[in-house]
Amino acid sequence: MGAGATGLSFAWRLAKQRPDLKILVLERGGHIDQRQGPSLSDDWELALQREFHANPNIRRNSADYPVDETATPIKPAFFNAVGGSTIRWGAHFPRFRPSDFKVHSLDGVAADWPVSYKTLVPYMDINDSIMGVSGLAGDPGNPPRAERPHPPLGSCAGSLRLAKAANRLGWHWWPADAAINSTDAEPGRDGCNNCGPCGMGCPRHARASADIAYLARAQEAGVTLSTHNVVRKIITKGGAATGVETINSDGRTEEISCKELVLAGNAISTNILLTTMSNWENPLLGKGLMLHPTAIVTGFFAEDLKSYSGPFATSIISQEFYETDPKRKFLRGFQLQALRGQGPLSTALGGYGQRLNWGGGHASAFANAFGKSMSLTVTCEDLPEPENRIEVDTTRQDQFGMPIAKMCYRLGANTRQIRDYGVERASEWLRTAGAERLTVTPLSVQAGFHIMGTATMGSEARSSVTGHDGRVHGIDNLTVIDASVFVTASPVNPTSTLQALALRAADLMGRRLAQT
Amino acid sequence: MPDETIIAVLDCLIPGDATGWPAAGQHGLVPRLHELLELLSADGPAQLQTVLSHLPEDFLTLPTDQQTISLQTVESTAPDAFDTVLKACYSAYYTDPGIRRIIEQKTGYEARPPQPLGYEMEPFDESLLEPVRARGPIWRKVP
């Protein structure tokens, strides 16, 4: 269920391993023709407020379902279509570090993963080759790894300023890993031409998304895709999932039987669907919701940086403050990620940061901001706290007859300390780079992109919802491969790690089925 | 409510200045505002009416600074409606072809969509990373 980052990669891998299996991918959304994407249109910036808005409650495309966001300061952000949220992403593609999988052993909080970094590396390498990744080997911030399929993306004046400033500060920095082809080397995909707004699809197919990278491969391997097909109930019998009830775009319901069921949506849809199962419950389901709370510090420079050019989210990063440092008041850490400027309308509306003031002075504020700003995100590692959770309200139903999920979230004390310290460091970096003025957005609201935890994997059934392979405790033929299985959050974007877990889960399932 | 009031509201929101930026209302954006209120928000037209209904009856005859104060009051008393109208106003202004030509004249940012032409960027200069490499690994090893 779900034709996004994990669903399509999993289906491809399993089909390659086990061509004898019949694999059906059910996707509630339809295809997005990125070749005709809005970045080709004069009104391209309006799309970010409508059909490409990150928040499904605002976007309200036909496949979207409502999420109760009244109890969270960070609003949900995901996309329902073939390709999933990779349709809407900036394609920043870092890997979790080894320490992210051993948080309890190293820092005495949260839990260790039942999977190690080393186990996932071969799958990350496979995934890099299929998604298409640009970057540079040799980063001292991460373990040694293979050359990326493509060299790093280009540099703009703003990223050069930040790079030189980081050197003056003696801080780590590195060109961001990006799931964006920087060259024309891959047939069918052009190299990036630095247009900027990756988050609305890429007409050149330079920026990867799951549909571009995996769909054709999966279908060639025998996978069948059914679109506009909403799974609204898991049918169980005798401790096994026997099928699903779906509803299609005509409103027709259907039961589809299966031997194995894989949930590959997101933590919200997984929580909803697991709640529909009769005779199964786990008190830990829904608990330990983790987001990536993000502050944004924007620096305004006297120089015209033309910062609207270049992929907006994949310039350079600093992982200087990634690991726990006993000299600081908090555990774990954060990543600083440079964001480029945006188009004229997004500059005025503030993007993920602050809107320009209306009234007198608006014109000069625009003139001083447009093309002259660079931002730094302070992406904080969240700890899994039981108060942060997804609740499923079975008394309310959406247009598909599904229960409605509620995100219940507040920033924990450790996260707030990370954020505050990170804002100071981001400000220091931008000032060193020559920014004349700063604005601080303490918490980016429309930025709940990374919805992690709530069906956490673990070695023991009493302390987790799923096993190391994503299989749900108590339902042996039901597997979860979305980010709800994450044990900890790291301070970096999850998709590389997420897809590696999915590829591994496919291998494990293939082997298990061969033995039965 | 006549268009004159909406023009005055837009002129307050984006007044323009003497350097060549036109005021939003005087630039003729009222029809585009209506279009975008429909397009961007399920209740956009109603939100505009809410904003207008909160204005004093003599809004049109007030001096600019008093009109601005009136709108600041609306912003605090009807924030959702004001926010919807402001977003539509900015959207109308910064997607308008005439405004985009002005932006091009002033900044060099071409009045065209990002694709298919994209933008040129310098290749990444690896020599900048010498101090980072020289420092050695900083990631935390695990048992």
What end-to-end distance do the CA atoms of chain A give, in Å? 23
Residue A2's pLDDT is 98
- Nearest residue on chain A to B8, judged by CA atoms? A359
User: Which residues of chain A are within 8 Å of residue B37 when distances are taken between CB atoms?
Assistant: none
User: H helices of A112-195, where?
Assistant: 117-131, 157-169
Strands A67-71 and A403-408: parallel
What end-to-end distance do the CA atoms of chain B give, in Å? 72
The CA distance from A323 to the nearest CA of chain B, in Å, is 7
Size of interface A-B (CB pairs under 8 A): 194
Q: Which residues contact A193 (CB under 8 A, 6 or more apart)?
A: A204, A206, B115, B116, B117, B118, B119
Top residue of B11, B69, B129 to mutate, by most chain A CBs within 10 Å, is B129
- Average pLDDT across chain A, whole number: 97
Sorting pLDDT into bands at 50, 70 and 90, what band is A351? confident
Q: What is the ipTM of this complex?
A: 0.96
User: Which residues of chain B are within 8 Å of residue A355 when distances are taken between CB atoms?
Assistant: 90
Q: What is the mean pLDDT of residues A278-285?
A: 94
Cα dihedral sign, B127-B132-B136-B139: negative
Is the Cβ–Cβ distance between A328 and A344 less than 8 Å?
A: no
Top residue of B75, B119, B135 to mutate, by most chain A CBs within 10 Å, is B119
User: Which residues of chain B are within 8 Å of residue A310 when distances are taken between CB atoms?
Assistant: 119, 121
Top residue of A50, A100, A119, A193 to mutate, by most chain B CBs within 10 Å, is A193
Q: Render pLDDT for A442-501 as a digit per residue (tens, 0 to 9).
A: 999 999 999 999 999 999 999 999 999 999 999 999 999 999 999 999 999 999 999 999
- Nearest residue on chain A to B75, judged by CA atoms? A358
Sorting pLDDT into bands at 50, 70 and 90, what band is A180? very high
Query: Widest CA span of chain A, in angstroms?
Result: 73
- Helices B30-40 + B3-13 axis angle, to 10: 80
Residue B72's pLDDT is 98
Q: Render pLDDT for A352-401 as a digit per residue (tens, 0 to 9).
A: 778 999 999 999 999 999 999 999 999 999 999 999 999 999 999 999 99
Measured in whole angstroms, how far is the alpha carbon of residue A156 from the centre of its chain?
A: 25
* β-sheet bridge partners, residue A254: A246
- Helices A5-17 + A495-514 axis angle, to 10: 30
Residue B2's pLDDT is 61
What letters, b where the CB count within 10 A reaches 16 and e where it falls short, cover A260-273? Answer: bbbbbbbbbbbbbb
Query: Widest CA span of chain B, in angstroms?
Result: 75
Sorting pLDDT into bands at 50, 70 and 90, what band is A279? confident
Is the Cβ–Cβ distance between A218 and A202 less than 8 Å?
A: no
DSSP letter (8 states) at residue A155: B
CB contact under 8 A, B97 and A136: no
Q: What is the mean pLDDT of residues A19-38?
A: 97
Is the Cβ–Cβ distance between A294 and A430 less than 8 Å?
A: no
CATH class of the A5-514 domain in this structure: alpha beta
- Helices A5-17 + A117-131 axis angle, to 10: 100
Q: Render pLDDT for A243-272 as a digit per residue (tens, 0 to 9).
A: 999 999 888 999 999 999 999 999 999 999
User: Which residues of chain A are within 8 Å of residue B129 when distances are taken between CB atoms?
Assistant: 136, 138, 173-174
Is the Cβ–Cβ distance between A454 and A274 less than 8 Å?
A: no
Residue A431's pLDDT is 98
Q: Render pLDDT for A292-307 as a digit per residue (tens, 0 to 9).
A: 999 999 999 999 999 9
Residue A249's pLDDT is 83
Q: Is the pLDDT of residue B70 over 60?
A: yes
Please state, in angstroms and rounded to a whole number, the distance separating the CA atoms of residues A36 and A298: 32
The CA distance from A245 to the nearest CA of chain B, in Å, is 31
Please state, in angstroms and rounded to a whole number, the distance separating the CA atoms of residues A454 and A390: 7
Secondary structure (DSSP) of A322-383: -S--TTSSSSS-EEEEEE----HHHHHHTTTS-PPPPSTTHHHHHHHHTTTEEEEEEEEPPP
CB contact under 8 A, A141 and B124: no
Closest to A203 (Cβ–Cβ): which among B116, B126, B131? B116
Q: Which residues contact A475 (CB under 8 A, 6 or more apart)?
A: A236, A239, A240, A241, A277, A280
User: Which residues of chain A are within 8 Å of residue B70 when distances are taken between CB atoms?
Assistant: none
User: Which residues of chain A are within 8 Å of residue B132 when distances are taken between CB atoms?
Assistant: 140, 166-167, 172-174
Closest to A195 (Cβ–Cβ): which among B89, B108, B119? B119
Please state, in angstroms and rounded to a whole number, the distance separating the CA atoms of residues A514 and B6: 70
CB contact under 8 A, A97 and B139: yes
